[in-house]
Amino acid sequence: MSKGFLEIENLSQRFPQPDSNEPMTVFEGVDVTINKGEFVCLIGHSGCGKSTILNVLAGLATPTDGNVIMDNKEITGPSLDQGVIFQNHSLLPWLSARDNVMFAVRARWPHWNKAKRREHAERYLHMVGLDDAMDRKPSQLSGGMRQRVGIARAFAIEPKLLLMDEPFGALDALTRGVIQEELLKIWSETHQTVFMITHDVDEAILLADRVLLMTNGPHAQVAESVKIDIPRPRERANLHQQEAYYPIRNHLVDFLVNGAKEMSARAQAAAARGDDPRHSPRVVNPGKRESHPEPGPRMVRAV
Amino acid sequence: MLSNLNFRATVLSLVMLVVFLGVWQLATAPEALVPHQGELSEYEQLMGAGTDRSSSSGIPAPTQVFSHAFSELSNPFYDAGPNDKGIGIQLAYSVYRVLLGFALAALIAVPLGFVIGMSPLLNKAFDPYIQILKPISPLAWMPLALFVIRDSNMSAIFVIFICSIWPMLVNTSYGVASVRNDWLNVAKTHQLSNLRTAFTVILPAAAPTILTGMRISIGIAWLVIVAAEMLVGGTGIGYYIWNEWNNLDLASVIFAIIMIGIIGFLLDASLAQATKFVRYAD
């Protein structure tokens, strides 16, 4: 296996169950590699442990087994190297938009003076189009603007890895579209490594270089790594005119509707037999016609 | 202008005041003197019934109270011996005791509440004591305080201290314990030290709850100081009321009651104003 920027190795999460001695296995044996500058989306049904994986990457949760290595260092706790954007903006409500970003900048570069912090914060707020709203408190901002402040705050600390947990889940469709494009813009300027959880297939296709697909829990696995073979810069308006768009979209939807459940049943049977659950996601590229895989059930590779 | 709610409320308030004062004045007017039947009891004689007083009940008319108030307020800080001090001096003693007791309580309750709120272990360990100590009437501590401290003034301050500490302690620990997990995660992902987290995230988040506790505390402290000073005597508005009752000077008593209300209102309003500075909309 080639050494990537971020190595997730044999990651497993089990929780004790109140009514049995057997722990509940949320996911197990997850091996994933993410390269520097890559934008990776993770899709899966509710309860498969997506957020747990993200919290492990953020250092906010400790996995039962396995470890995560970023830039040759193991992640053992939260740090400024991992920026996190949560679904519910999580801005500090007593600070203005500018002060919220400056709060993060100060944590990152404590020796900077106030003018420098302010300038840095305002640059990122400008990138997300909030020039006129910097002095407002979060309660005076719309849901979309709050999420923009959250994005500016996360990008402003220039983390090695940016983690997003369904950042646009609480927004209406129109706002979501606008902010997705802003996110694309700011990402193309900074080329952050991004790991993002989403429920929205179209969002994943628009944003990601690669989409990781998770089977249903318990014993969830990261079954596939789907390459999004659509050239950048991408635009929402003409995304569906791209040749690769529909094959990719069909593949993702098919997985979520059928594959996730069937593969989950197989993984649970394998776990019952006691097979080694460690696995790497199968690499697929539905956008390339010749490698278009047959829809329907397929074996999960056990390493 | 009549459609303005504030204006209409003001007019209604004034009407109520005029009606109340009118009824009071009429009820205490000399014409209302009811012819007395039979001999006066000892109590009635003590209360001044049957004497030449202008009122049937012994209760002064509002005009008497106001003229008394005017003379008291025109010279509030005179000092003519231990039993004759101006109302300003008496109130100042009471406010001083309340503020000192309250400040000492805040000095202990806020940091302790902070620690209790941050630690589920301490929260559970302290809880039974807080629950049992909280409902004790602060005046019940008075004999113990007098015995241990051997100083009536300090005992009154201790009583204020013990009654102000509980609302602040409970509110601080509650406010700190219920800081949103999101905000704590923000502190964690930004690698803030515990001290910085406490001051830049937890304190501003819990400040409105803490100040609400302070507001409750100072309200209770002002209620308790009157009773405490009636017990310990010497100085203060509580002693003043009791002294004037012994002098049967009901005009002074009523005047003091009104002053207690006004000062209590000002104490509460100043903390309400402070709450405004730390309040945030979520």
Residues 6+ positions from B127 with CB-CB distance below 8 Å: none
Query: Which of B189, B190, B204 is facing A94, going by the closest CB pair?
Result: B204
Question: Could you tell me how far CA B160 lies from the centroid of its own chain?
Answer: 10
Judge: B204–A92 Cβ closer than 8 Å, yes or no.
yes
User: Domain boundaries in chain B?
Assistant: 87-278
Judge: B182–A157 Cβ closer than 8 Å, yes or no.
no
Q: Hey, what are B259's tokens?
A: 């002053």
Query: DSSP of A154-175, one letter per residue?
Result: HHHT--SEEEEESTTTTS-HHH
Give the tens place of pLDDT for each residue, A249-281: 999 999 988 888 888 888 888 888 878 888 888
CATH of A1-81+160-303, one of 3.30.1330.10, 3.40.190.10, 3.40.50.720, 3.40.50.300: 3.40.50.300
Judge: A103–B191 Cβ closer than 8 Å, yes or no.
no
User: Domain boundaries in chain A?
Assistant: 1-81+160-303, 86-158
Helix, strand, coil percentages in chain A from 3-state DSSP, rounded to 5: 40, 20, 40
B61, B29 contact by CB (below 8 A): yes
Q: How far is CA B53 from CA A242, B45, B122, B243, B244, in A?
A: 103, 12, 63, 21, 17
B184: nearest CA partner in chain A? A90
Judge: B185–A86 Cβ closer than 8 Å, yes or no.
yes
**A24-34 and A193-197 as β-strands: parallel, antiparallel, unpaired?**
unpaired
Judge: A94–B183 Cβ closer than 8 Å, yes or no.
no
Residues 6+ positions from B75 with CB-CB distance below 8 Å: B86
The answer to whether A61 faces chain B, any CB pair under 8 Å, is no
**Which DSSP category does A300 fall into?**
P
The answer to whether A87 faces chain B, any CB pair under 8 Å, is no
Residues 6+ positions from A55 with CB-CB distance below 8 Å: A61
The answer to whether B190 faces chain A, any CB pair under 8 Å, is yes
Judge: B182–A88 Cβ closer than 8 Å, yes or no.
yes
Judge: A78–B183 Cβ closer than 8 Å, yes or no.
no
Type of residue numbered A298: R
Residue B120: is the preceding peptide bond cis (ω within 30°)?
no
Amino acid A182: pLDDT: 86
Judge: A80–B191 Cβ closer than 8 Å, yes or no.
yes
Per-residue pLDDT of chain B (282 residues; tens, 9 = 90+): 667 899 999 999 999 999 999 999 998 877 545 555 566 677 766 665 555 444 455 789 999 999 999 998 988 888 888 778 889 999 999 999 999 999 999 999 999 999 999 999 999 999 999 999 999 999 999 999 999 999 999 999 999 999 999 999 999 999 999 999 989 999 999 999 999 999 999 999 999 999 999 999 999 999 999 999 999 888 999 999 999 999 888 999 999 999 999 999 999 999 999 999 999 987
In angstroms, the CA A260 to CA A277 distance is 16
The answer to whether A62 faces chain B, any CB pair under 8 Å, is no
Length of chain A measured in residues: 303
Distance from CA of B190 to the nearest CA of A (A): 5
Question: Could you tell me how far CA B76 lies from the centroid of its own chain?
Answer: 20
Distance from CA of A143 to the nearest CA of B (A): 12
Judge: B189–A80 Cβ closer than 8 Å, yes or no.
yes
In angstroms, the CA A157 to CA A110 distance is 12
B203: nearest CA partner in chain A? A94
In angstroms, the CA A92 to CA B180 distance is 10
Amino acid B55: pLDDT: 46
- Helix (H) or strand (E) holding B218, with range, is helix B203-232
Is the predicted pLDDT of residue A291 greater than 80, yes or no? no
Relative orientation angle of helices A143-156 and A97-108, to the nearest 10 degrees: 20
Amino acid A218: pLDDT: 84
Closest CA to A161 of A260, A38, A246, A22: A38
Task: Count CB pairs under 8 A between chains A and B.
Answer: 53
Name residue A33's beta-bridge partners.
A7
Across A72-77, average pLDDT = 90
Strand order across the beta sheet in which A282-284 lies = A82-85, A161-165, A193-197, A39-43, A210-214, A222-227, A282-284
CATH of B87-278, one of 3.20.20.80, 1.10.3720.10, 1.20.1420.30, 1.10.10.60: 1.10.3720.10
